[in-house]
Chain A
Amino acid sequence: MANRKMLTLAVNDTVRNVDVATNETLLETLRRVGAVEVKCGCEKGDCGACAVLLDGMAVDSCLTLTHTVGARAITTIKGLGNAEAPHPIQTAFAERGAAQCGYCTPGMIIATQSMLNNDTDTPDEADIRQALSGNLCRCTGYTKIYDAVLESAKVMRDTAAAGEMESVK
C-alpha cells in the first residue's frame, strides 16, 4: 500500500481536509471528494478533459500528484461561475454552441481561462489554437470553440476597460 498523507486543499475557495495516498492523482482526489465536473478521458495527459487551474495555470489533473499541490488554489469549471453568476467564457461557450457532448468542455474552458490569465488577453485564432492544443474535442471540429474563446476574451477586455473607466471617474 502506498503511504498516505493528510492534506489541506483549496478547491474553488472551499478548504477541504483530505486523506490521500501519495500516488493518488489530483483527478482521482477531486472526483472522490465530489468534484465530478472534472472529467476523466485518458489518465495519460493526452486529452485535457481533466484540466484544472492551479493558481490560475491550467494543468492536467491526471498527471498531477495530489500531495504536490500544496497551498496552490485549485479551480474547476464550477469555481469559475454558475447560472446565477456566469463567467464570460461559460456564457460564450453556451451561446456559441461550443459545447456539444460537453465532456471536453470543462477542460476547454479551463484552458481558455489559463491562456487569458497567463499568455494573452487579446488572443487571435493562432493563439487560441496553440493554447487549446492539449485539449481534444471530438464533436465540434473546434470552430465554435474558437468563436466562443474570441468572444469571451473580448467581453472580458471590455468589462475590464469599463472597470478602469469606472475607477478613473
Chain B
Amino acid sequence: MNKLDSAATGEHNVNFRQIGKARTRTDSPGKVFGKTPYAGDYVMPDMLHARVLRAKVPSARMTRLDVSKARALPGVAAVLTFKDLKIGTVATDIPGQTGFKRRATDQQILVDELVRYQGEPIAIVAAETVEIAQHALSLIEVDLEPVPGVYNVFDAQKPDAPKVFGTDNLVASYKVRKGDVEVGFAAADVIVENTFTTQYIEHAFLEPEVGLGWEDEQGVINIRSSTQAVETFRYIADAMGLPHSKVRIRGALVGGGFGGKCDVTVELYIALLTKATGRPVRLGYSREDSFYGHGKRHPFIINHKTGFTRDGKITASKIDITSESGPYAFMSPYVLMYATEAGPGPYLVDHVHIDSRSIATNNMYTSAFRGFGATQACIAYEQQMDEAAKVLGIDRIELRRRNLLKTGDAIATGFKVQSAVWTEECMDRAMAALGEKPKDKGAIRYGHGLAAYQQGYGRMIWLHDTAEGWVGVEMDGTVLVRSGMTDIGAGQTSSLAQIAGELLGIDMMDITVYNSDSSTTPLAGTSSASRGLYMSGNAVRLAAEAVRDRLAARAAKHFGSTADDVDFANAQVFLKSDPRQTMPFKELVAVCASEGIHRAELAIFRAPFGDWIDPETGQGQVHPDYTYGAHAVQVAVDTETGEVTILKSIGAHDIGQAVNMAAVEGQIEGGVAQGHGYALSEELIYKDGYLVTPSLSEYLCPTSMDSPRIECIVLESRSGLGPFGAKGIGEPGHTPAAPAVANAVADAIGTRVFDFPLTPEKIANAVRKARKAG
C-alpha cells in the first residue's frame, strides 16, 4: 500500500461517475441566491428575545444577586438565576458517546457562588424586545468580591495556587512509554532540545451563536440552533431534568463551526427560558458574546528533547506537554490525548517518552478547535525537526525523509498504521511546487518552510462511535437522504447526496437531503473530528447499497439477468454486459412500489471499537486511522519591520478518495488560511483573566489582503476507512500550515521565534538579537 501506484494517483475518478469530481455543491444555489435560512433567520409569533448577563471579572465570589428591578421592568417575561434552576450543572463531554463516562467535569449553568472566568453567565433574561432585555440586564444588581485567581499554567501547578479545578488544578494527564528513552539517548550523537509555545485562538466563525426555541403540542422543547452537534439535546434534557425524548434540536445550515459549535451554548438558555415562559425564545449572540461565550483553542507549551545519530536518525524522543484548560474540562482531556498521541509526529521513533497534562486557570475555558491538539503538537514537532536539521547540518527535507513512518510502522502509542502513508510523496510534491527561492533584496529576506503531519480522523476508538443514515426512493423515482449530520459549511450534505447519487445512478443535484434534526433524522454524531464524511458517508453508502441491491434484484428479474450485472447511471437501469438493455430508474421504482419491495433503508456504520490505551504506558490504539501529508510555504520577511508576506502556500495531502474534489480543496484552502492566521496574527490576549481582544478588529483573522492563492495537491491512495477509501480532510488541511509558515520565517531570518504568533514585533526583535549575537 505504501508504494505509489500511478493508476491511483495520476488518474482521478477512473471508476466513478460522480464521486471524485469537482461538482457544484447541492447547497450552493441557496447560498448564492440568499435563499438559505440560517438558524438566526427564523422567527415565530409571540417570540421573546433573550440576553445573557456575564461576569465582568475572571475570579470572584458572588455576595449578592438581586434581579427584582429587572423582573419588574415592563416587557420582561423572565429573569433566571441559579436559584431558578432545578439542576445547576450541564455536562461538557462529547455528546452521545457511550464508551466511557467522565466524572466531575460538569459546568455550572449560571454562577452559583464562584465566578471562574470573565464572561461566565450570571443571569438570563427574556423580554418582548432585545432592547428591553438589554435594559433588564443593566437593572440586575450583582456584587462580585474578587478572589485570588490563577492566570497561567505555571502558577496553577504550585502547591499554594488558588484551586480552580479539583484539588490540584489538574484536568487530565497522560503518559507514553514506548521502548526505553534512556537507551535511545545513549545511542544519540546529538541531542536537540527546544520549547515551543502556542496561544489562545478564536474560531471566529462568521455566524455568531444563535437559536430559537419553542415548546410544541407534545411538550417537547424544540430548539433551532446553529450547532455542530444536535446530540447536545441529551445534555440539555439532563440539565433540565427532562426525558431525552422531550428535547429536540434542529440545526440549520451552519455559518461556520471549526469546533466552536460542538459544545452547548445558546441552546440551554433558550430551553430554560422557553420552559419558564411558555413562549418561543430567540437568543442571538453579539460578536462580543461569541468571544466570551464559547471555549477557545488551547494554548500549549511543548518541550522536545530529541536524540539523533550523526546521520540524522532519531534515536529517542522525550516530550513534555502542558495545555491550558481554563476553569472547566470541556474537551481538554481529549485534546490533550490527541496532542500526546501525535507527539513525535509522522516519524518512526523506537524510544518515546511523553508526559502531558492539562491545567486549569481562570482564563477562558478551552475546548474543540479544528485539529484538536494534534495541531499544537505539529507546531512543536515540525519546528523541532527544522532546528535539528540546522544543528545536524542535514537538509530539512532529507532529515524528515530518513525518519518517516511507513505503513505497518508503530506510532508513539505502538499502534501500527494500516492505511497508506504517503508523507514523502506529499513533501516532495509540495516542495517542488514552491520552486526556486527568490534572491534576497535589501531588508527583504525570502524563506521556504515545510511541515509534515499525522492527524487522526474519526473519534478515539474507546468512544465507540456510530453514525446512522437513511436513503429512500419516492414512488416517482426521486431520492431522499436523511442524516442527523450537521452541515457546517464543508459540503457535508452535498457529499451525502453525491454518494447516494453515485450508487443509485441519480445526479446529486436531484437528490434531497434532510439533515441535523435530533428527532426525525437518524443520529449521526457531531460534525467534528474529521468524521463527517467518514462516518455518515459510510452510513449513507450502506443504506444506498441496500436499496440498490433490492432494486437490482427486481431489475434482474425484468432483464432475465443476474443482479450483479445490473448497473445504475443517468437515471437509467441497464446491464453492464449489454448496456442496450435499459429501463428508466423511475419505471423500476414504480414496479417495486406496486410489489411492495422496500425502497428505503436505515443503516448504521460502526467505527472500530476498542478500549482505552494502557494508562501506564500509553500503548494501544487511539484513532481508527490517520491522514498524512505536508504543507510548504514561501514567505518574504521585511527584517526591518518584521512584517511577513506569504507568497506561496501549498498543501499536499493523501485524502484517500475525494468525494467532491472542490469541497476537498475548499477544506484544505480554508484550513490553510486559518493556519496562516495562527502563525502570524491571531491571538486572544488574556491579561490576568481579562480578554483584551474581544472584537474582529483586535483579533486579527487573515483578510484577502493577507491571503495568497493557496495551491492544493490532492493524492488518492484509496486506503482510508471512509466511503470508497476516503480519509478525513476537515482538520488535516489545517494542521501543518502554521508550522510551515514558522519554518519559512525562520529560514528567511536565520533565527527562530519560539513563541506563537510570530508578530512583526517578535520577528524584528529576533532579527536584532541574532545580529547582536552574530
Contact = CB atoms under 8 A, between A and B. Distances in A.
Given A40-B40, A78-B33, A97-B663, A141 B255 contact: no
Interface in B185-236: 203-208
B510 to A, nearest CB: 15
A81 interface: yes
A143 B705 contact: no
A26 to B, nearest CB: 16
A42 to B, nearest CB: 4
Contacts of A151: none
Interface string A118-156: 000000010011101111111111111110000000000
Contact of B32 (A42, A99, A128): A99
Contacts of B257: 101
Contacts of B208: 40-41
B34 A100 contact: no
A18 interface: no
B245 interface: no
B701 A138 contact: yes
A41 B206 contact: yes
A109 interface: yes
B674 interface: yes
A130 to B, nearest CB: 7
Contact of A132 (B25, B205, B704): B704
Interface string A68-89: 0000000011100111001000
A39 interface: yes
Q: Which of A93, A139, A145 has the largest count of B CB atoms less than 10 A from its CB?
A: A139
A87 to B, nearest CB: 9
Interface stretch (A3-11, A43-51, A161-169): A43-51
B255 A102 contact: yes
Contacts of B663: 97
A94 B28 contact: yes
A145 B705 CA distance: 13
Contacts of A25: none
A101 to B, nearest CB: 3
Contacts of B204: 136, 138
Interface string A94-110: 11110111111110010
B670 A141 contact: yes
**In which size bucket is the chain B interface?**
35 or more
A161 B205 CA distance: 40
Contacts of A102: 27-28, 30-32, 36, 253, 255, 489
B707 interface: yes
Contact of A41 (B31, B32, B203, B287): B287
A133 B703 contact: yes
B672 interface: yes
Contacts of B22: 97
Given A40-B40, A94-B28, A146 B696 contact: no
A100 B495 CA distance: 13
Nearest to B712: A143
A73 to B, nearest CB: 17
B584 interface: no
B669 A39 contact: no
A66 interface: no
B696 A93 contact: no
Given A100-B666, A129-B707, A47 B206 contact: yes
A133 B662 contact: no
Interface in B685-711: 695-697, 701, 703-705, 707, 709-710
A61 interface: no
Contacts of A99: 28, 31-32
B240 to A, nearest CB: 29
Given A138-B205, A138-B674, A106 B697 contact: no
Nearest to A99: B31
Contacts of A125: 709
A47 B290 CA distance: 14
Contact of B704 (A82, A96, A109, A142): A142
B632 interface: no
Interface string B273-291: 0000000000010110000
B489 A100 contact: yes
B37 interface: yes
Contacts of B207: 39, 41, 101, 103
A98 to B, nearest CB: 8
Contact of B665 (A37, A103, A142, A144): A144
Given A42-B696, A100-B491, A104-B206, A83 B710 contact: no
Contacts of A139: 256, 489-490, 666, 670
B673 A101 contact: no
Interface in B325-354: none
A141 B672 contact: yes
Contacts of B24: 94-95, 97
Contacts of A113: none
Contacts of A141: 669-674, 707, 710
Nearest to A92: B32
B254 interface: yes
A39 to B, nearest CB: 7
Given A39-B207, A77-B33, A83-B29, A101 B254 contact: yes
B268 interface: no
Contacts of A83: 29, 33, 35
A77 B286 CA distance: 23
A136 B705 CA distance: 10
A15 interface: no
A35 to B, nearest CB: 9
B34 A128 contact: no
B114 interface: no
A97 B30 CA distance: 13
B45 to A, nearest CB: 15
Contacts of A42: 287, 695-696
A83 B284 CA distance: 30
B258 interface: yes
A90 interface: yes
Contacts of A132: 703-704
A36 interface: yes
A37 B34 contact: yes
Contacts of A44: 287, 695-697
B29 A146 contact: no
Interface in B26-69: 27-38, 40-41
B696 A46 contact: yes
B32 A94 contact: yes
Nearest to B286: A43
Given A36-B37, A128-B704, A139-B489, A90 B255 contact: no
B488 interface: yes
Contacts of A145: 704
Contacts of A97: 22, 24-25, 28, 662-663, 665-666
Q: Which of B32, B287, B489, B662 has the largest count of A CB atoms less than 10 A from its CB?
A: B32
A136 B33 contact: no
Nearest to B660: A97
Q: Which of A42, A46, A76, A81 has the largest count of B CB atoms less than 10 A from its CB?
A: A42
Given A46-B697, A97-B662, 11 more contacts: A36-B37, A37-B35, A83-B33, A90-B32, A97-B22, A106-B34, A138-B670, A140-B670, A140-B673, A142-B669, A142-B704
Q: 4 closest A-B pairs (Cβ-Cβ)?
A: A101-B489, A37-B34, A102-B31, A103-B255
28 contacts: A40-B284, A77-B34, A78-B33, A93-B28, A97-B665, A100-B256, A101-B206, A101-B207, A101-B254, A101-B255, A102-B27, A102-B30, A102-B31, A102-B36, A102-B253, A103-B38, A129-B704, A133-B703, A136-B204, A138-B205, A138-B256, A139-B490, A139-B666, A141-B671, A141-B710, A142-B673, A143-B665, A144-B662
Interface of B: 22, 24-25, 27-38, 40-41, 203-208, 253-258, 284, 286-287, 488-491, 662-663, 665-666, 669-674, 695-697, 701, 703-705, 707, 709-710
Interface of A: 36-37, 39-44, 46-47, 49, 76-78, 81-83, 86, 90-91, 93-97, 99-106, 109, 125, 128-130, 132-146
